[in-house]
Structure 1
C-alpha cells in the first residue's frame, strides 16, 4: 500500500481529507469519495464508500454505515474509522473475510461528523461538545469561561485556598483533590475551578455558566426530541443543524443500509437502544440479535453491551432524548450501536460492576479509584498525564495553583501509545456485525420440462445472513424496508404463471423460501432469475432451458 497511515495519531480535518483522497486514488475500483453535506463553518463532510465495483454497485449490496465524532472531542472515534478503512483496503485480496465483505457488501465510512468542533479541539486548548455555533446564547454569559491562562497549551484546573471551600488535598497523594467531608472543620481547604477567566466578576461569586458552545448534536434527532429546557443541547428543532441533517438525509436515501455503528468516548461499553424506554418494548427478535452480536463484540473488545435506558441512565424519569441511535433504530429500523471507546478505569485495574453503580460511588471509593489511576499514570505514562500543581497569579483571583489531568488525552481519549489497540479491537467488533448482515443467494435451481416448450423453474431464495432480510424485526413491522422480491426474465417466450415478479416476503435470518414459475419458451432459451431486497442485496442467476 502506497498510502501512509499512522495508527497512533489523531488526524486533523485536512489530514483526514488528504488520507481519504489518497485511498481513493490508490484504490479506484474499491472506493468512492464524496461529500454528504457541509458543516456550520462550511467544511465538507467526506464519506468514503468501499465495495468492489466489479462485483456490482453498492446500492445492490447490503450496506453498513459507520461514523464518528458527533461529539467534537471524541476523536478516538475518527481514529477507529480511519483504521478500519486502512485495514480493509490493505487486506483486500489477502484476508478472505475482508475480501468477501468488500466483494459482497458496501461500507459507508464517515470519519468525522462535527468537523468544526473537532478542529477547534485538536488545534487549541478548548474543549467543546459538538458544533462551534454559539448556542443557546450569542454571547458568553457572566461567569467563568475556560481559557489557557498560563500559556501551557492546556486548560486544566485552578485551586484556590479558601477556608469555606469544598475540597481538600488527599493525605494519600498531594496531587489528588477530594471532597471535604460534612464534619471536616479543621484543615486547609480549597475552591476548585476550571482554568479560565471570569466575565463580569463581582469580586466574590464565581458563577459557572453554560459553555458558549452549548449544542449537543446527538440530542438533535427527531426520535423523542424535546425542547432545550428539558433536554440541554437539543437545538431549536429536530435536525436544525447542518451536520445532523446531512447524516439523516444520507441514511434515509441509502435504502440498502442494514446496520450501523457510531463511535464515541468514553467508558468502554457498546450501547444500544432504547434511550427512553425499557427492553420490554424491544421486539424479541431484535433483543436477541442485540444480545448475540453484543456478545461477539465483547469477545473482541472486552466491553459489555447494555441498553442506554436500563444500564446507562441514572434518572429514569428524565432519559436522554433526541438521540441519533434511537432515531436509527426507532425511525429507520436499523440494528445499531453507539460504542463508548476507551476505558481508563479498566486500564487502571478498577472493576466496574455497572455504570449505575459507578455513578453512585461514595467519596471514599472515588478517592481509591483516583489513586489507582494516578498509579497507572505514573507507571504507564511516566506521570505525564497529570500536570502537577504550580502557583500562578490570576488577574482576578490572585494566588491560585494550576494543575490536574490532561483530560483530552488521558480521560476522554487514550494516550497515543494505546490508540492502535483500541482501534483494532473495535474494528473487529464492527466486522462481527457486518458479517451478520442479511444477504440473499439463489440456491437449488431446477428446470423441468412439463409440456411442449413449457418448463417449470424452481429456486430457493435464501437469506444467508444472521439478521432478517429487513435488517430488523422492527423494520419489517413498520415497513421501513421492502420485502424480498423474486423476478424471472425470459429473452424468448413468456412467463405463464404466476407472474414475472413474486413477492417472497421478509425472510428471517438463515432461512429460505421456494419460488416457482411456468415458462413457455423453446429449448435453449436463456432466462434470468433475480432476487432483491432493499437491505439484503440483489442476486442474479442465468439458466438455460
Structure 2
C-alpha cells in the first residue's frame, strides 16, 4: 500500500511539474497576409523561443494562412509588442496553457487503470496491449517490431480473423509525442473492432478480409516524456554525440525526399530530420516491418493532430501521385463520411499544397514503396484547444475518425491490387 501511495504521489508530482512551467504561457494565432508578414514572423522566431503548433516551424509559414504558436510567460510582452508594432493581426487562442492542460482531464473517467475515454499513460497502454490480445485470441495477436532509443518495446497489434495470405491495412498512432488524441484513436479502433465483430456487418467483413496492423504508440519515449517532464515535447528522445539537443522528428526521418524541404538539419529544431534517413530506431522498426510485409499491405494510415485534414502524397514536393484523381475522390468521400456523424469539417488534398511542404514523412515513404492508398489524418481540432484537446472530446473524435477509416478500408476492399 505504501509503495502504491508513493507511486501516486510521484506521478502527481511529476504531472504537477510538467504543468507548472506552462503557468501564464499563451498560444497565439496570427493572420499572415503577405510575404512581409512571413518575414516578420521568421524574424520574431529567430530572436525569441517560439514553439510552433501550426505549421511546425517558421520556415513553413506561407502568405494567406494562419500561424499558431506557444510563447513562454517571460516572452509574452516582447511578442505582443512586436505583433502590435508591426500591425500583425492576432488573437490569443489559449490565455494560460497550464490551465488548458489541467482542463484536458475533464472526462470524469478518472478510474485507475485503462479507459478508452481518457488519455492513458504508456504503462497503462502497454498493459492494455497485453490484456486486449490475451482476452481476444481469435481476433488479436501482439508482437514487438523493435525497441525505442530508451529500450522500450514497440508493440504491434494484428487485428483480424485468422486466415492465410490476407491483405492488410497498416495504422499507426503516436508519431509526435504531444498529439495525445492520436494514441487514443488507435486504442478506440481496436476496442470497436473487438466489440462489433460478428454484430456489425461492415466491421465483420473488414476483419474477415483484412488484417489490420495497429501500432498504438510509435514514439513511446517521447510520449512518456510528455507525461513526466514536458507536455509539449514532440520528437523522439535520441541523443547524439556532439549535440546537447535531444530527439529527432520521426515524421521527417523517412527516406522520402529526406531533409530536402520543411525539415531542419539543426538537432535543436522541432523538425530535425536526424543525421540520416531511418536514423531513429522507431522509424527504422516501422519501415522494416512494412518492407517485410509489403506484398500484403494495401493501405497505410497514419494518425496525427491537429487541424482536421486528410492528406495524401506528396508532402516532400509539389508533385502529384500517379493516382491523384482517385486519391482525391476517395479523400473527398471520406471526409464527407466523417462529417456525417457530428458535422466536423475536414479539408483534404496533397500534403504540400494543403498544409505545407515537409520531407521525410511516413505517408510519402509508404506510397513510394508501392502502397497506393496512403493517408495522413490530422484529427481535431482546428486550434481552439490544439494539442490540449479535452478528454471529453475523445469519444466523438474517435467515433467520426473510425467512420472515415472504415470507409477507406471498404474502398480498398473493393479495389484490391
User: TM-score under structure 2 normalisation?
Assistant: 0.66
- Looking at structure 1, the residues matched to 258 and 232 of structure 2 have their Cα atoms a distance apart, in angstroms, of 25
Alignment-derived partner of residue 146 in structure 2:
37
Q: Which has the higher relative contact order, 1 or 2, with Cα contacts under 8 A spaced 6 or more apart? A: 2
RMSD, aligned α-carbons: 2.2
Contact 2:331 2:349 in 1 (8 A): no
Alignment-derived partner of residue 432 in structure 1:
407
Pair 1:278-2:318 in alignment: yes
Pair 1:326-2:364 in alignment: yes
Deviation at 1:244, TM superposition (A): 0.3
- Looking at structure 1, the residues matched to 180 and 241 of structure 2 have their Cα atoms a distance apart, in angstroms, of 24
Contact 1:223 1:322 in 2 (8 A): yes
The structure with more strand, counted as a fraction of residues: 1
The structure with more helix, counted as a fraction of residues: 2
Deviation at 1:40, TM superposition (A): 0.3
Alignment-derived partner of residue 222 in structure 1:
255
Contact 1:221 1:327 in 2 (8 A): yes
Secondary structure at 1:327 match in 2: helix
Pair 1:245-2:284 in alignment: yes
Question: 1:522-543: CA deviations, max 9, x gaps?
Answer: xxxxxxxxxxxxxxxxxxxxxx
Q: 1:44 to 1:90 in 2, by over 3 A?
A: same
- Looking at structure 1, the residues matched to 321 and 148 of structure 2 have their Cα atoms a distance apart, in angstroms, of 35
Question: 1:282-302: CA deviations, max 9, x gaps?
Answer: 434444444444444444543
Secondary structure at 2:364 match in 1: helix
Decide which of 175, 179, 200 is 1:70's aligned counterpart.
175
Question: 1:300-329: CA deviations, max 9, x gaps?
Answer: 54312122111212xxxxx31111111011
Q: 1:137 to 1:416 in 2, by over 3 A?
A: farther
Alignment-derived partner of residue 260 in structure 1:
300
Contact 2:251 2:362 in 1 (8 A): yes
Q: 1:280 to 1:308 in 2, by over 3 A?
A: closer
Pair 1:302-2:345 in alignment: yes
Alignment-derived partner of residue 16 in structure 1:
125
Secondary structure at 1:37 match in 2: strand
User: TM-score under structure 1 normalisation?
Assistant: 0.51
- Looking at structure 2, the residues matched to 258 and 250 of structure 1 have their Cα atoms a distance apart, in angstroms, of 14
Alignment-derived partner of residue 394 in structure 2:
419
Q: 1:126 to 1:137 in 2, by over 3 A?
A: farther
Q: 1:89 to 1:280 in 2, by over 3 A?
A: closer
Contact 1:72 1:118 in 2 (8 A): yes
Q: 1:330 to 1:235 in 2, by over 3 A?
A: same
Contact 1:278 1:309 in 2 (8 A): yes
- Looking at structure 2, the residues matched to 20 and 77 of structure 1 have their Cα atoms a distance apart, in angstroms, of 16
Question: 1:166-206: CA deviations, max 9, x gaps?
Answer: xxxxxxxxxxxxxxxxxxxxxxxxxxxxxxxxxxxxxxxxx
Secondary structure at 1:437 match in 2: helix
Q: 1:282 to 1:288 in 2, by over 3 A?
A: farther
Pair 1:134-2:239 in alignment: yes
Contact 2:265 2:272 in 1 (8 A): no
The 5 Å alignment of 1:442-481 reads 465=414, 467=415, 469-470=416-417
- Looking at structure 1, the residues matched to 339 and 226 of structure 2 have their Cα atoms a distance apart, in angstroms, of 30
Deviation at 1:281, TM superposition (A): 5.1
